[in-house]
């Protein structure tokens, strides 16, 4: 028969092992989140190869954590892991949209529908950044295309209807997305009007110069 001291020692050893696994796992989750965030920044800088490498590194970490979850689900499936998966989903959805003009799926990413949806909602904010970059570059049509994608995502999020209750935090993210979209729509509208006025003034100046030259000749 084991003494109480031996029993407590065994429990202590098990808890110490689990605590080490928890600490290592949390560090991996932070790393995966950081890699996904870096990938998004690199994508905005049009450094696509580097962005893809970051995503590949994040995928390796997440796959290893999912393997660990088979033995230690109570340790791995924490709020921190869900946050990492949402960031990873956001980065992959954005990258695939920008590079291949299509939406990647939850099964492709091997993430849950909830983490995918929450990541998808955050893509709207990143598309605002893209739209503003295009406006600064004078690419109004590309900015409008970004707004169309933002609208498309938002409409589909609203189509979830009652499923909103099954995705904690989605209502809040959707409220933020609505404001982002309307602000972006306003920015693009102002730029379109400004450009139209600029084109009209250029046309007027050209006409005026032609008129002046005719008057000078006569």
- For the chain, the average pLDDT equals 91
User: What's the whole-model pTM score?
Assistant: 0.87
| 15 Cβ contact partners less than 8 Å away, ≥ 6 residues apart | none
CA-CA distances (angstroms) from residue 184 to 51, 85, 137, 144, 179?
25, 27, 16, 9, 9
Q: In this model, does residue 7 exceed pLDDT 80?
A: yes
Q: Which two tokens stand for residue 70?
A: 């088979």
Q: Which of 111, 136, 163 is the last residue of a domain?
A: 111
- Residue 62 or 160, more confident: 62
Q: In this model, does residue 212 exceed pLDDT 70?
A: no
Do 142 and 171 fall within a single domain?
yes
pLDDT grade, residue 132 (50/70/90)? Answer: very high
Domain holding 54, by residue range, is 1-111
Do 7 and 85 fall within a single domain?
yes
DSSP 44-76: HTT-HHHHHHHHHHHHHHHHHHHHHHTT-HHHH
Do 30 and 100 fall within a single domain?
yes
Q: In this model, does residue 5 exceed pLDDT 90?
A: no
The angle subtended at Cα 35 by Cα 47 and Cα 94, nearest 5°, is 55
Do 154 and 188 fall within a single domain?
yes
Do 53 and 101 fall within a single domain?
yes
DSSP classification of residue 167:
S
Which pLDDT does position 136 carry in this prediction?
93
Q: Which of 56, 87, 111 is the last residue of a domain?
A: 111
DSSP classification of residue 102:
S
Which pLDDT does position 47 carry in this prediction?
97
Percent of the chain with pLDDT over 90: 71
Which pLDDT does position 195 carry in this prediction?
78
Do 104 and 116 fall within a single domain?
no
Which pLDDT does position 173 carry in this prediction?
94
d(C-alpha 151, C-alpha 106), whole Å: 20
The CATH number of the domain holding residue 80 is 1.20.58.2140
CA-CA distances (angstroms) from residue 199 to 116, 142, 194?
43, 19, 9
Least confident of 70-79, 123-132, 195-204: 195-204
Hey, is 78 helix, strand or coil? coil
Which pLDDT does position 203 carry in this prediction?
72
Do 155 and 214 fall within a single domain?
yes
How many domains are there within the chain?
A: 2
Do 96 and 154 fall within a single domain?
no
Which pLDDT does position 1 carry in this prediction?
59
Which pLDDT does position 161 carry in this prediction?
74
Do 104 and 131 fall within a single domain?
no
Which pLDDT does position 97 carry in this prediction?
97
Which pLDDT does position 192 carry in this prediction?
87
Q: Which two tokens stand for residue 149?
A: 């994608």
């Amino acid at each position: 028969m084991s003494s109480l001291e031996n029993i407590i020692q065994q429990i202590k050893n098990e808890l110490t092992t689990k605590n080490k696994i928890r600490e290592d796992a949390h560090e991996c989750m932070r790393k995966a989140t950081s890699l996904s965030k870096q990938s998004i920044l690199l994508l905005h800088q049009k450094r696509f190869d580097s962005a893809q490498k970051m995503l590949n590194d994040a995928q390796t970490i997440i796959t290893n954590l999912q393997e660990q979850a088979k033995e230690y689900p109570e340790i791995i499936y924490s709020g921190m892991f869900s946050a990492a998966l949402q960031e990873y989903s956001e980065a992959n959805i954005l990258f695939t949209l920008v590079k291949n003009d299509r939406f990647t799926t939850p099964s492709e990413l091997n993430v849950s529908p909830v983490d995918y949806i929450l990541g998808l909602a955050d893509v709207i904010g990143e598309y605002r950044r893209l739209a503003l970059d295009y406006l600064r570059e004078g690419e109004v049509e590309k900015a409008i295309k970004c707004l169309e994608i933002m609208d498309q995502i938002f409409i589909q999020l609203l189509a979830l209807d009652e499923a909103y209750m099954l995705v904690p935090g989605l209502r809040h993210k959707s409220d933020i997305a609505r404001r982002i979209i309307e602000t972006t729509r306003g920015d693009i509208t102002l730029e379109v009007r400004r450009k139209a006025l600029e084109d009209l003034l250029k046309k007027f100046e050209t006409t005026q110069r032609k008129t002046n030259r005719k008057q000078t000749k006569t």
